[in-house]
Amino acid sequence: MSVSEAALTAALATVLDPHTGQPYTAGRQLKNLRVGADGAVAFDIELGYPARSQFPVVREALAAAAKSVAGVGDVAIEVTSKVVAHQVQRGVALLPGVANVIAVSSGKGGVGKSTTAVNLALALSAEGARVGLLDADIYGPSLPLMMGIEGRPESEDGKTMQPLHNHGVKVMSIGFLVDAEQAVVWRGPMATQALDQLLRQTTWGELDYLVIDMPPGTGDIQLTLSQRVPLTGAVIVTTPQDIALLDAKKGLNMFEKVGVPILGIVENMAVHVCTNCGHVEHIFGADGGKRMAAQYGVAYLGALPLTMAIREQTDSGTPTVVAEPDGEVAGLYKAVARQVAVVVAGKAKDFSAKFPTINISKTT
């Protein structure tokens, strides 16, 4: 019995991606569909976001759908991910080789923004993406400690720097260039210039995502970054506490004013579970981030717990996603990262690389 290709594609279209709500076959993700005379079927599925841990589940669901069609025998499915560049603010050129830049921001300090940024970057890397991490907190760089990296960047040409790396992620921070206990006593313009150099004079290579750990607040450095760095979008980190939400809303409004899309809100330290008795307590309030997301009509990326393990693992230079990759909390970070990647994948693509460069020459 010959297999109807139309019936096969219709069956495959019934399998929905739980992260996008769309069929896996939508948007030209179905490629190289082949049907053999013996009923053997083979095809490729190309996801627009990194999801290496999800590949077996995707394969299983699509294989079951294919085998529901009369005449189908063996099914071979290749699932891959391809991350492309997406649009940024108008008038801001993309960084060479860097497809998407994600700012992780908070209105105030102490809400776990850096911890979230680090685990977000590590989770994207764990799902198969090429990831870089930039420490934009000039006055309080913490990523060298969090990522367990020591040393200074090397320069092959005297003009650019090689990023340091650990846990599969490339990292750059002012903390690599100054002593750990030395205070950076610079005025705003000097700090902004230093940050611009860290960003643009680092040879990042080819990256799917560059995650920027923003300094807290909405001052000169934050505003300059938002206006001059090609940001695909921003992730806002807050605790459920009213005072944290008040400042988080200011940060969100800053990004909106300069045309940077908000990818979503992460509610950190949302709940504490006692390690001794299992008592659940909302120390900083409940669902504040969820209410904020609903108020502004942006994605609620998820809630993260307040646990001693997260602090201990981060302080030791092995953040949760790499310390306990199969643990419950690492799973939460990975779920947040996947949602961020899915939101990015849904943004309009950048086509500037497809346009030819126009050179104007003077003729006589």
Can you give the CATH number for the domain in which 49 is found? 3.30.300.130
List the structure tokens of 306: 């307040």
List the helix and strand counts (H, then E) for the chain: 11, 13
Q: Are 30 and 10 in contact (CB under 8 A)?
A: no
The verdict on 208 and 332 lying in the same domain is yes
Which band of pLDDT confidence, cut at 50, 70 and 90, is reported for residue 46? very high
Query: What is the average per-residue pLDDT within 112-135?
Result: 95
pLDDT for residue 181:
62
CATH, residue 203:
3.40.50.300
C-beta separation of 133 from 117 below 8 A? yes
Considering the chain, what is the average pLDDT of its residues?
A: 87
Q: Does any domain span residue 12?
A: yes
16-32 burial code (b ≥16 CB/10 A, e <16): ebebbeebbbeeebbee
Of all residues in the chain, what percent carry a pLDDT higher than 90?
54
Confidence of residue 357 (pLDDT cuts 50, 70, 90): very low
For residues 236 and 242, is the Cβ–Cβ distance under 8 A?
Answer: no
Residue 22 lies inside a defined structural domain of this protein: yes
Whether residues 103 and 75 fall in one domain: no
171, 291: one domain: yes
**Tens of pLDDT along 296-325?**
999 999 999 999 999 999 999 999 999 999
Residue-wise burial string across 124-151, b where 16 or more C-beta atoms lie within 10 A, e elsewhere? bbbbbbbbbbbbbbbeebbbbbbbbbee
The contacts of residue 153 (CB under 8 Å, 6+ apart) are 161, 162, 163, 164, 172, 176, 177, 202
Domain hosting 48: range is 5-81
Query: Is the model's pLDDT at 127 over the cut of 80?
Result: yes
On whether residue 350 sits in a domain, the answer given is: no
**Does 182 fall in a domain?**
yes
How many other C-beta atoms can be found within 10 angstroms of the C-beta atom of residue 58?
17
Residue numbers in the known binding site are 107-114
> Residues 77, 104: one domain?
no
Domains of the chain: total: 2
Determine, yes or no, domain membership for 364.
no
Residues in binding site for ATP: 107-114
Instruction: State whether 67 and 102 are in the same domain.
Output: no
* pLDDT computed for residue 188 by the predictor: 62
Q: Note whether residue 264 is domain-resident.
A: yes
Q: Considering the entire predicted model, what is its pTM?
A: 0.89
Let me know whether 269 and 322 are in one domain.
yes
Asked whether residue 185 is assigned to any structural domain, the reply reads yes
Claim to verify: residue 65 and residue 116 sit in the same structural domain: no
Please indicate, yes or no, if residue 92 is contained in any of the structural domains.
no
**Does one domain contain both 73 and 155?**
no
Report whether 23 contacts 17 (CB < 8 A). yes
pLDDT in the model for residue 180:
61
Stretch 6-10: mean pLDDT, rounded? 91
pLDDT of residue 175: 84
pLDDT of residue 267: 94
Q: Which residue has the tokens 């126009």?
A: 358
Which DSSP string corresponds to 79-133? Answer: EEE----B--STT-PPPTTEEEEEEEE-SSSSSSHHHHHHHHHHHHHHTT--EEE
CA atoms within 13 A on the CB side of 32: 10
Quote the tokens at residue 78.
């290749």
Residue 191 scores a pLDDT above 80: no
- 11 shares its domain with 139: no
Question: Are 25 and 140 in the same domain?
Answer: no
